[in-house]
């Protein structure tokens, strides 16, 4: 019987807040240059919706723009995020590597994220997390864009019977519950208390994961 822990990436293992604002600012500067945006960069709006699929992100941030412009904006945004990661502007949350190393001796570890694949690979490669993470799964591989279906794919492809999903947003908590897994909410940067209330367990520090026993 395989046990696994499936991690979200943004706001769970990786401190996305460190690169989010500069990448978004560069993107909206591009839109301003093309006379496609007037006003401030909607960074607070993005923080509110953090964790939703990228298609929903750009529909929310640029509701009056065409699909083509949204896709162009997202492509530019992804490029800037990856540049910042590779230039060392991001960071993992405290104790991430230590915790992953310890947990990898007990469980199979996976990433299931709403982030795009190249973005996730940039984080994994930059911080050499492939030593601990068995495989990364991007929402790009699920036509519906639903986190619950992404987690289901992880379970099916790897014959996982039980385990947990660790994440900071409601989509992670629901993905755990929809697939019969333990939901562990992390009370970090993008977390919202009303969403964390629905989690089975809430932690304030990744080290707490070490002492949590999963159902067998």
Give pTM, 2 decimals: 0.93
User: Is there a single domain that holds both residue 106 and residue 190?
Assistant: yes
User: Is there a single domain that holds both residue 147 and residue 75?
Assistant: no
Q: Is the pLDDT of residue 1 over 60?
A: no
User: Is there a single domain that holds both residue 39 and residue 6?
Assistant: no
Out of 71, 86, 101, pick the residue that ends a domain. Answer: 86
Q: Which residues pair with 135 in a beta bridge?
A: 110
Q: Does residue 216 fall inside a structural domain?
A: no
How many structural domains are present in the chain? 2
Report how far apart, in Å, the C-alpha atoms of 159 and of each of 48, 144, 178, 192 are.
Answer: 35, 22, 17, 32
User: Is there a single domain that holds both residue 139 and residue 59?
Assistant: no
pLDDT digits (tens, 9 = 90+) for 63-121: 999 999 999 999 999 999 999 999 999 999 999 999 999 999 999 999 999 999 999 99
Out of 54, 86, 118, pick the residue that ends a domain. Answer: 86
What is the span of the domain harbouring residue 34? 17-86
pLDDT digits (tens, 9 = 90+) for 25-34: 999 999 999 9
Give the mean pLDDT of the chain: 93
- Here the CATH number for the domain that contains residue 105 is 3.40.50.1000
pLDDT digits (tens, 9 = 90+) for 156-188: 999 999 999 999 999 999 999 999 999 999 999
Q: Which residues pair with 10 in a beta bridge?
A: 14
User: Is there a single domain that holds both residue 144 and residue 107?
Assistant: yes
User: Is there a single domain that holds both residue 128 and residue 172?
Assistant: yes
User: Is there a single domain that holds both residue 72 and residue 176?
Assistant: no
């Amino acid at each position: 019987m395989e046990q696994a822990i499936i991690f979200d990436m943004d706001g769970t293992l990786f401190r996305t807040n460190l690169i989010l604002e500069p990448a978004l600012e560069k993107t909206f500067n591009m839109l301003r240059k093309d006379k496609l945006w007037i006003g401030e960069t909607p960074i607070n709006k993005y923080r509110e919706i953090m964790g939703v699929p990228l298609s929903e992100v750009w529909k929310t941030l640029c509701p009056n723009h065409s699909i083509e412009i949204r896709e162009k904006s997202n492509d530019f945004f992804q490029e800037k995020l990856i540049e910042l990661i590779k230039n060392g502007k991001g960071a993992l949350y405290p104790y991430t590597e230590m915790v992953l190393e310890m947990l990898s001796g007990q469980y199979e570890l996976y990433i299931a994220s709403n982030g795009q694949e190249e973005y996730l690979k940039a984080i994994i490669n930059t911080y050499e997390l492939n030593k601990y993470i068995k495989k990364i799964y991007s929402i790009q591989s699920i036509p519906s864009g639903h986190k619950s279906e992404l987690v289901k794919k992880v379970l099916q492809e790897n014959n996982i019977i039980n385990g947990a999903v660790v994440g900071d947003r409601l989509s992670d908590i629901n993905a755990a519950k929809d697939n019969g897994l333990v939901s562990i909410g992390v009370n970090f940067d993008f977390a919202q208390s009303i969403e964390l209330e629905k989690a089975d367990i809430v932690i304030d520090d990744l080290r707490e994961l070490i002492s949590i026993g999963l159902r067998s």
